A = this chain, B = another copy of it.
Amino acid sequence: MSTATSPQIIELGAMRRICSGCSLRELCLPAGLDSEAISALDEFVQKKQDLHVQELAYRAGDIASNIYAVRLGSFKSYRLRENGDVQIVGIHLPGELFGLDALASEQRQIYTEALEKSNVCALPVADLERLSRQIPAIGRQMMRLMARELNSSYEEHELLANDTALTRVAKFIWRYVQRRKQVGLQTRQFDIAISRQDLANYLGLQVETVSRAFRELRDRKVITASRSKLEILDHAALQALIRSE
């Protein structure tokens, strides 16, 4: 039961204080930077932060003082609709950045909340701006990361505009697995801290529909799933489901 989480714990132990020693450096802000640039980053990336379940990294209306890199755990970003309902607009996994949307000292438009016990690097925006003036590569990397965000927002648009419930869920799982693979996490069986309710909300569906999609995938022997435990039985079948749309 606890085997699914143990690789993460080992990884946490291996992490160093700073980018140079961080196992996520290839995927995070330092990706593609030379060692000089990374050393410069190291001086600023000292602020690490633990967050417990449901703790907010920031709330809408806050002045954006940091961007964040997920070291461990996961997060959801959400807006509050006119009627007070939550709309989840993003999920953040280890090695990914969040809070980029409020760059250049604007006010936060969204809330970002830990889905489980998590740990982040907080990167002060002011430092980053100063730094990218000294080292252009860092500014360029920031741009690249924001561009990546934009591109994945297009993928989301596509999913929400056209895909059936089953396809949405299958795509979500597939992409989730790909993102885990990126950072060297287990891709066969693992925990997803995201509740069915949150997943439904994010995918523009109802909980019941998501539940039925899971059952369908279980019936087709593509996955096994019980609460937060997920096991991919047939990666190929999952991919096939997505391609056929």
Contact = CB atoms under 8 A, between A and B. Distances in A.
B109 A151 contact: yes
B136 A87 contact: no
Given A101-B154, A143-B143, A150-B150, 13 more contacts: A82-B245, A87-B154, A87-B157, A87-B158, A89-B154, A101-B150, A103-B146, A104-B143, A109-B151, A109-B154, A132-B139, A146-B147, A157-B160
B106 A144 contact: yes
Nearest to A110: B154
A62 B4 CA distance: 42
A157 to B, nearest CB: 5
A53 to B, nearest CB: 23
A129 B136 contact: yes
B150 A146 contact: yes
A3 interface: no
Given A142-B143, A153-B150, A79 B158 contact: yes
Interface in A133-184: 133, 136, 139-144, 146-147, 149-151, 153-158, 160-162
A87 B143 contact: no
A227 interface: no
A144 B103 contact: yes
A120 B157 CA distance: 25
Which 9 pairs from chain A and chain B are nearest by CB? A161-B204, A160-B160, A153-B153, A104-B144, A101-B150, A104-B143, A89-B154, A103-B143, A87-B158
A201 interface: yes
Contacts of A201: 161
B81 A162 contact: yes
Contacts of A136: 129, 133
A204 B160 contact: yes
Contact of A100 (B109, B129, B150, B243): B150
A139 B129 CA distance: 9
A203 interface: yes
A35 interface: no
A102 interface: yes
Contacts of A245: 81-83
